[in-house]
Amino acid sequence: MINAIAIDDEPLALQLVSGYIKKTPGLNLAGCFDNPFDAIEFLNNETVDLIFVDIQMPDLSGLEFTRSLVNGPKVIFTTAYEKYALEGFRLDVIDYLLKPFSYEEFLKAVQKVVRLIRLEKKVPEQVDANNEFLFLKSDYKIRRINFNDILYIEGLKDYVKVFTRKSDKPVISLVTLKLLESKLPETKFMRVHRSYIVNLEKIDTIERSRIVFGKTYIPVSEQYKDRFQEFLDKNFI
């Protein structure tokens, strides 16, 4: 099943695309939004495979929205303006649907996405993930971050701050906390708050349901308290 969302500031256009998604086998309408900002917030917390987005919208255009995506879903533009086609394909969008478009045109665009996703699944991984390090893009550089050096990670909307024992300054990268969490080994790292992940092996002090790293106090929220307590119980004398 392909999870799809629709973004359009025109109610009728949004209703049309949402209806097309609902009636198409293999597609699941995960959400529909009349502005890209609500969609960005949704993408930070949910898995989406395909986005149908209008180009001309106030405050943030579909082009600007697509440029902001990091390792994002597949994108299909829906617009009344043909002049943006070249720019759209420069952004590697899957297709460009010119309003008003029929369900047949919509379906052809979706089939391109289905074929591409199937092809990507057939490509084997050349290098396996490891439990020692990962690479993060930061300040126009690609930085290797050893898991053993990480103290904790703070998530701030669309980017993260990775605090390590090697430097007082965090490594800042434009990636969501959710995506980074999926790349970390579960045996070493635990999310203890909506905005924080900690390295379990680096915890020295816990004070009043807060994990202490130097002068930083990281709260353990109610949502993650039971899991963290289970970790403590297994390692408590």
pLDDT tens profile 81-109: 777 666 766 777 889 899 999 999 999 99
In this structure, what CATH number is given to the domain that contains residue 92? 3.40.50.2300
Same domain (yes/no): 15, 110: yes
Q: At what angle do helices 11-23 and 103-122 cross, to 10 degrees?
A: 60
pLDDT (tens digit, 0 to 9) for every residue of the chain, 237 residues total? 899 999 999 999 999 999 999 999 889 999 999 999 999 999 988 889 999 999 988 888 888 898 888 777 899 999 887 776 667 667 778 898 999 999 999 999 999 999 888 887 765 545 556 789 999 988 878 999 999 999 999 998 889 999 999 888 999 998 899 999 999 998 999 999 999 999 999 999 999 889 999 999 999 999 999 999 999 998 887
What is residue 128's predicted lDDT score, i.e. its pLDDT?
59
Sheet holding 159-164, edge to edge: 171-173, 159-164, 150-156, 196-199, 189-193
Nearest C-alpha neighbor of 44 from the set 77, 6, 70: 70
What is residue 118's predicted lDDT score, i.e. its pLDDT?
82
Q: Is residue 146 in a domain?
A: yes
Helices (H) and strands (E) counted in the chain, each on its own, are 7, 15
69: β partners: none
Same domain (yes/no): 6, 112: yes
H/E stretch holding 108: helix 103-122
Q: For residues 234 and 99, what is the distance between their CA atoms, to the nearest angstrom? A: 59
